Structure 1
Amino acid sequence: MAVRFGKRTLTLVTAAALTALTIGTGTAHADTGDDAKVLLQGSTTASYFWDDSSGRAGDTGLPASGKPMQKKLAASPSWPLLTEGYVVYKGKKMPFFVGDRGPGNPSNNGIMLDLDAKTFADLTGGTFNSRTLGVDGIGGQGHIKVDYVITKWGKGVGKKNHPVAFSTGAWSRIDRNPAEPPEILAEESTEQKSAPGSAGRLVAAPEPVAAPEPDVETADTAGILALVGGLATVAGVAYVGREHLGSIKS
């Protein structure tokens, strides 16, 4: 019975250790996020446009990338053409690729992304008007604050970092020092916070240690001796009792 109890204790200790390791692995894995690698993330003010070379609504001609105007085609004042990513506005996520240059002067005031009008309509709950090339149903709203994520840099000239104004000319120069991906920066920060004595660091569970199994032979011997001792004590008491009774009778 004691041996079986010892084995069960070992089993429980091992199971607890495996559970601890599994929880640690699951937590780390849960922090990976989207499958696409994040190269850059930030926030900016976005406007919208629709340049189909029709000359309407401030149209400045076909996009600089040579791609036809289409949904998901955005303009950046500094990122390389054909850079890919997505924006998030009030929990709604929409993909984009950089197919044109812009905004021009507005980028001097912090408007660093020009979304296509159809994507802008989807994000804001409006409707794209193919006649005016504007977005209806949003009260004339022309700018929104968005979070952006870059997942792929385009080849060629352009700044591979947080956007800067068109007037800086960064869009025309090759960037040989792209931004460090947030994942790498986060790992460096975690390493610093995980210095000896810091809290929250994940550590491997200790090796399972088997509970010492009792010596059955020793236990049995001790039990026999205890039994003999007990019988002897009872016998002694009985003997003393008899002597005591004898003295009373005398």
Structure 2
Amino acid sequence: MSVRIRGVYATALTALLENVVQASPPIRERFDADFPVAPAAATVETTGDRQGVCVAGDRDRVAAVTDRLRGVGRDTLTWVADLPRGAVYAGEITGTLGGGAVVDVGDGEGYLPYSKTARHVEEGDRLRVQVEEPSPPWADGRPVLDTTVRVHGPLVGLVRGGTATATGPELADLVGTDPPEGWAPDWGRASDDASLDALDAALDTAGERARALDEALADGPPPAEDAPHRYDDGDSSRWVWFGRESRFALDGHRRAVVETMAGHHRVKAAT
């Protein structure tokens, strides 16, 4: 099963993991290899503070990748995300801040920027939200929420209630699969380099996820009647934090591909 990797650990983790897809241009150049532009079963993305990565996607692939990363060093620590990427909740606003609102979703608190909702919100309001950006357990910030429901995907995502745009890969009009009714495609950058079969497979997978979300939302109670409430579990999401020993081990994996100074990943994590 495939994995897409981004961030400061990308070179080391590309050397460490198997079935890497949608590699960035620098990675393709360093490895002197053509990586498939195919749907990814899981994504590995460096956290904003560069202390570790978030692994999200298919449950089995996420578990396998996390187990592999856990073996990098004795001080590699892992957590299951309390609020996974893409999870959908009925939440209640418990406080308002300068740029957004704090929302209790039952499994924890999230932060809803005012720019992520079309309505005026205040304390006590109940509304449906989705986890847009999970927050690592070692950070102080809350996960970022959005009132727009999406299916996330590096090649193509889907937006519930969205409007189709003219932007997209040249092959988009030839894709045989149509998005479910009420959903609009949101094509990713990598889609320009993907084959027709890859685009079709990605849209088909996203469509299955969208239909599952439609069913979960239709079967669940309105937010006003039952909040907090979880409609959908979202993607399997786990956090991986790399300690000192682990970062030196990752230096070794990177050094096998490209010249790397000692402490490279420690320096990157500190900047």
Q: Does the pair score TM above 0.5?
A: no
Could you tell me the TM-score, scaled by structure 2's length? Answer: 0.19
Could you tell me the TM-score, scaled by structure 1's length? Answer: 0.20
Question: Which structure shows the higher helix fraction?
Answer: 1
